[in-house]
């Protein structure tokens, strides 16, 4: 059983280790990235590259299942081939005229 002073020491050691891990993962000073945001709704893909380019693509009509993510993954792979890496993802459920569906978002980045 840990005494109160050892418990405090263990807690402080844990905080120091956590801070070290976070510091090691933090981006270095002056590093900048180019970002791409891809959002898929039931029948559209929205692509934002940096702060200058925006594109909306209607998904192919033959896709009957709004949960089919194939075209989204294909587009993500195209950006990965251009040097981008997936930095964050998110999915949200919502209801629209197509019924209940899932919207997916991918944030990609690459060093400048």
Residue 91 pLDDT: 85
CA distance 72 to 12: 44
pLDDT band at 18 (very low <50, low <70, confident <90, very high): low
Convert the pLDDT of each residue in 28-43 to its tens digit.
567 899 999 999 887 7
Residue 11 pLDDT: 54
Strand order in the sheet with 53-58: 53-58, 44-49, 33-40, 99-111, 85-96
Does the global pTM surpass 0.85? no
* Phi, psi values for residue 34, rounded to 5°: -100, 135
Residue 88 pLDDT: 93
Helix H or strand E encompassing 37: strand 33-40
Q: Give the side-chain half-sphere CA count within 13 A for 100.
A: 1
Convert the pLDDT of each residue in 62-103 to its tens digit.
566 767 788 889 999 999 999 999 999 998 887 767 677 778
């Amino acid at each position: 059983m840990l005494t109160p002073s050892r418990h405090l020491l263990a807690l402080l050691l844990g905080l120091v280790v956590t801070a070290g891990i976070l510091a090691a993962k933090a981006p270095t000073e002056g590093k900048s990235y180019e970002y791409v945001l891809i959002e898929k709704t039931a029948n559209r893909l929205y692509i934002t590259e940096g702060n200058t380019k925006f594109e909306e693509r209607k998904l192919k009509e033959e896709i009957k299942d709004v949960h089919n993510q194939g075209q989204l993954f294909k587009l993500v792979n195209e950006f990965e081939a251009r040097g981008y890496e997936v930095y964050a993802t998110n999915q949200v459920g919502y209801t629209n005229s197509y019924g209940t569906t899932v919207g997916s978002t991918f944030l990609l980045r690459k060093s400048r």
